[in-house]
Amino acid sequence: MKKIPLLPRYFRWIGVILFTLTLVLYVIDTIERGGEGIYTKSFVLINDPFMSEKGFLKFMEVEITLTLFLSLTLFGLAAIAFSRNKVEDEMINSVRLFSWSWAIIYALIFCFIATVFVYGTTFVRIISLFPQELLLFYIIIFHISIFKLNRKTAVEE
């Protein structure tokens, strides 16, 4: 059996904590600030805001709330998706491949629907969540498949 390089098992809990904490903090920040955002000086490759100063390869005052939210949720979901199970065998590898295949199909369908029916800045916001939705679809499909597999083997015994 070819060994898939995965993170240690405890990374799953780190990912769950990071993902949950990020969602809670984002909701609290949105409620308290009303979508005002956090501004800081940062190096930007390209900054092209609507009706304000454009920037290219320089330090600028930018709003980083969405960047922090997307980055932390991506790291949390990746830690969950790429951590080992208690038992790693060929069947689990097969379930992983099955889950990735269906997650990609669902994410592409979602992306196609968004491309056809959603326009403007809402489209950009939805498409910016593509990596997170792909990982989320994978995690959901993988754990449902493992649950069904465990239930099936328990019934057979």
Taking only the tens place, the pLDDT of each residue in 11-68 is 999 999 999 999 998 888 888 877 677 888 888 888 777 667 777 888 888 888 888 9
Taking only the tens place, the pLDDT of each residue in 109-146 is 999 999 999 988 888 888 888 999 999 999 999 999 99
Task: Return the percentage of the chain with pLDDT > 70, whole number.
Answer: 96
Question: When comparing pLDDT for 154 and 151, which is higher?
Answer: 151
Enter the pTM of the model: 0.84
CB atoms within 10 A of CB 116: 8
Domains in the chain: boundaries: 1-83, 86-156
Taking only the tens place, the pLDDT of each residue in 77-87 is 999 999 998 88
Asked whether 99 and 145 are in contact (CB, 8 A), the reply is: yes
Alpha-helical (H) ranges within 34-129 are: 65-81, 90-117, 121-128
Spatial distance between the Cα atoms of 99 and 114, rounded to a whole number of angstroms: 22
Spatial distance between the Cα atoms of 21 and 114, rounded to a whole number of angstroms: 28
Tokens, residue 145: 């498949």
